[in-house]
Amino acid sequence: GPSEKGLPQGATALSKCLFSQDLDPNSGLLPPLSQACSCLPEPCMDGERSPAPPEKGRDSPFAWSPGPSSSFIDPDWFGDENIQAKRARVETIVQGMCLSPHTPAPAPSKARARDGACCPGKARERKRKQSLPMQQGPLKPGPAGDHGSRKGGPRVREQLHQLKQQLKHLQKHILRAAEPRDTAQDAGGSETDKGPLRAQQRKGYGRRPRALDSDHYQGSRGDHPEEEKHRASEAEHQSEEPRFLPCGAQALLEILRKELTGAVSQAVDSVLQKVLLDPPGHLTQLDRSFQGLVPEGRSEPSPPERGACKDLFPLATLPRRAQPQTGVLLQNFSLAKSLDPPRYPVSLRMIPIPCQGPPANCPLTAPSHIQENQTLGQLLGPRPRGHWSSSLPHDSTPQSHRSSESGLRPWGAVKLRPSVLSQQQYALPFASPRLERLPVLPSVKMEQGGLQAVPDVLPFPSLHTQEGLNPGHLKKAKLMFFFTRYPSSNLLKAYFPDVQFNRCITSQMIKWFSNFREFYYIQMEKFARQATTDGVTNPKMLVVLRDSELFRALNMHYNKGNDFEVPDCFLEVASLTLQEFFRAVSAGKDSDPSWKKPIYKIISKLDSDIPEIFKSSNYPQELFRN
DNA sequence: GAAACCCCTG
DNA sequence: CAGGGGTTTC
């Protein structure tokens, strides 16, 4: 039978919860199931697009990232174009170094060769997507495209080899040079190398063998006969050769140095802040102060609405510690409306991670002054929702705030453990580097800095597309489960661009999700049965909140370490699943051997869109590894 | 009949 | 989580 862990407490809490069923059932506080259902995808993704097929965005010019450095959704990207281009070069070269001798070409060409070999349709698809980012800026396809294999192959390989040597050399120097430097490296440094680097990009980018497909090549220089084209470019190379390497070396040096020093200083800051916060009692103080923000009807000055809320919905507005801890909780969706962020302007200032407090849903409107609290934001919690979705409408409809009354979440203290540092790496992929300048995303900024300090100072990780699945992929898949329970293989392919999919890999990943579902449904059934034995009669009383036991179980399974903020849409789906199981069990349908199938069918329609950032991250899966 | 899913097991 | 057998679906 199912494990009964924690049930005594849960049962007690549940019985408390049952008292609340005396609430007027006609008060309209609990919307019909169908209504709740129809709103599900909204909180986590663009509501307009929620029913669209998962693959819908893939033709977007920026939906696919061919390499570690492109794919930008934000128009502001062009401001950092140079930085990104530099990063691209560095990573590409490092990538080449890390590849085995039998895979001489960088990832893009690898992918291309693979595609061409097995399925032409896919190859075309990728080609189209791949070529788009290349069109940005001055990056012209060079002669090494497909023609390199005919004539320029050896040469290209030789150049690549030179680059590798150069980089090895640089690595040694930089790792040594970066340490003593202060953080005074600023825009000036990057400005100086802009010009040369751009020139280098123009000519140097295309010299990587088969990095660009021939279609693209011909498209941009179609007016030249192939031979001539090649010869001209060859000459171009030779004239550029002497300048190219030193120039590139300088650029590499500069960018690496900047990255390293920045990361180190961030790390120092981060550690310092932690140390400062470490004194015993500090955290509890913080906790207390945050708890104070939760309406208790006493000392905290509260807007008029709050008092009204409290009177109307006493249970739901209780502070966390007073709330039932079981997997089931009374919740009325109307309540959320009364907790709209704008009504707590003062509280907002005091809450580093807005989602943690009652005014939970205003991360995108967080003012820049919140930077003061960056450290708290970093230490105390997961990223506010919306970090991964720049297109989040962030309306103020009740649906998008429904879970706001979940109150404080118990992950604050955990974040303070030093050992958790390594877990935080998973946070990074959801923030593109250019976001670090945006004041509205304080925790992202800090986390990124801190994160880079840890893994990036170490020897360069490999960035190549790899054959198998690694633990990072598993981790990412688990997080994706929060959005989709039934991903199609196409969706998986779209969201794991660094994985070379074959039949085996695909089925393995499908199997992963099957296992995820299995655990998920087992939990649901367990808690639904518990609810029935505890005497719950109204399924709508069963709501999964962030502080419920059920949520903890799920979170522990899919998000061990709390390094990802579970999207609200998952809570909605989980609540519905729980309710469906409850209905079925309490109706005795579980005598039917296939009684779960209708439930599965319902839940399978509740998949949400996965945030684009999951696939368009600049660090595809690197930070998911380990 | 392959693929997908479910269920069980280790 | 992976493997394997059974079942359903297309």
For the residues A73-86, what does the mean pLDDT come to?
A: 43
Provide, in whole angstroms, the distance separating residue A503's CA from nucleotide C9's C1'. 20
Statement: residue A138 has pLDDT above 50: no
Q: What percent of chain A has pLDDT over 90?
A: 6
Most confident of A60-74, A305-319, A456-470, A471-485: A471-485
Quick check: A485 and A607 in contact, CB under 8 A? yes
What's the pLDDT score for residue A470?
Answer: 82
Quick check: A275 and A388 in contact, CB under 8 A? no
What's the pLDDT score for residue A142?
Answer: 33
Q: Tens digits of per-residue pLDDT, A356-369?
A: 222 222 222 222 33
Quick check: A386 and A406 in contact, CB under 8 A? no
Q: Which nucleotide has the least CA–C1' distance to A596?
A: B6
Statement: residue A615 has pLDDT above 50: yes
Statement: residue A118 has pLDDT above 70: no
Confidence of residue A258 (pLDDT cuts 50, 70, 90): low
Token pair 């409306």 in the structure block, residue: A337
- Average the pLDDT over each of A433-447, A476-490, A521-535 and give the range with the smallest value: A433-447
For the residues A467-495, what does the mean pLDDT come to?
A: 86
What's the pLDDT score for residue A520?
Answer: 93
Mean pLDDT over all residues of chain A? 48
Q: Which nucleotide has the least CA–C1' distance to A513?
A: C1
Residues A461, A77: Cα–Cα separation, whole Å = 25
Q: Tens digits of per-residue pLDDT, A460-478?
A: 334 556 667 888 888 888 8
Provide, in whole angstroms, the distance separating residue A514's CA from nucleotide C4's C1'. 15
Confidence of residue A165 (pLDDT cuts 50, 70, 90): low
Query: How distant is the alpha carbon of residue A147 from its chain centre?
Result: 38
Quick check: A615 and A565 in contact, CB under 8 A? no
Q: Tens digits of per-residue pLDDT, A576-601?
A: 999 999 988 888 888 888 888 888 88
What's the pLDDT score for residue A550?
Answer: 92
Provide, in whole angstroms, the distance separating residue A145's CA from nucleotide C1's C1'. 42
Provide, in whole angstroms, the distance separating residue A582's CA from nucleotide B1's C1'. 38
What's the pLDDT score for residue A262?
Answer: 56
Confidence of residue A261 (pLDDT cuts 50, 70, 90): low
Confidence of residue A524 (pLDDT cuts 50, 70, 90): very high
Statement: residue A312 has pLDDT above 60: no
Q: Give A571 or A14, the one with higher predicted confidence.
A: A571
Which nucleotides in chain B lie less than 7 Å from some protein C-beta? 3-8
Q: Give A529 or A313, the one with higher predicted confidence.
A: A529
Pull the structure tokens for residue A22. 């005396």
Which nucleotides in chain C lie less than 7 Å from some protein C-beta? 1-3
Q: What percent of chain A has pLDDT over 70?
A: 24
Residues A108, A145: Cα–Cα separation, whole Å = 11
Provide, in whole angstroms, the distance separating residue A511's CA from nucleotide B5's C1'. 10
What's the pLDDT score for residue A171?
Answer: 62
Most confident of A239-253, A398-412, A556-570: A556-570
Q: Which nucleotide has the least CA–C1' distance to A514?
A: B5
What's the pLDDT score for residue A516?
Answer: 92
A295 class by beta-carbon count within 10 Å (0-12 exposed, 13-18 middle, 19+ buried) = buried
Cα angle: A26, vertex A28, A33; to 5 degrees? 105
Pull the structure tokens for residue A148. 């390199």
What's the pLDDT score for residue A616?
Answer: 62
Residues A616, A71: Cα–Cα separation, whole Å = 6
Provide, in whole angstroms, the distance separating residue A559's CA from nucleotide B1's C1'. 39
Q: Which residues touch strand B (CB under 7 A)?
A: A 486, 489, 503, 506-507, 510, 514, 517-518, 521, 594, 596-597, 600
Residues A507, A161: Cα–Cα separation, whole Å = 37
What's the pLDDT score for residue A162?
Answer: 63
CA nearest to nucleotide B3 C1': residue:
A507
Statement: residue A296 has pLDDT above 80: no
For the residues A180-205, what does the mean pLDDT come to?
A: 34
Q: Which nucleotide has the least CA–C1' distance to A515?
A: C1
Q: Which residues touch strand C (CB under 7 A)?
A: A 469, 474, 478, 508, 511-512, 515-516, 519, 557
What's the pLDDT score for residue A578?
Answer: 92
Statement: residue A193 has pLDDT above 90: no
What's the pLDDT score for residue A513?
Answer: 92
Q: Which nucleotide has the least CA–C1' distance to A487?
A: B4
Quick check: A209 and A156 in contact, CB under 8 A? yes
Q: Which nucleotide has the least CA–C1' distance to A469?
A: C1
Q: Which nucleotide has the least CA–C1' distance to A594?
A: B6
Confidence of residue A507 (pLDDT cuts 50, 70, 90): confident
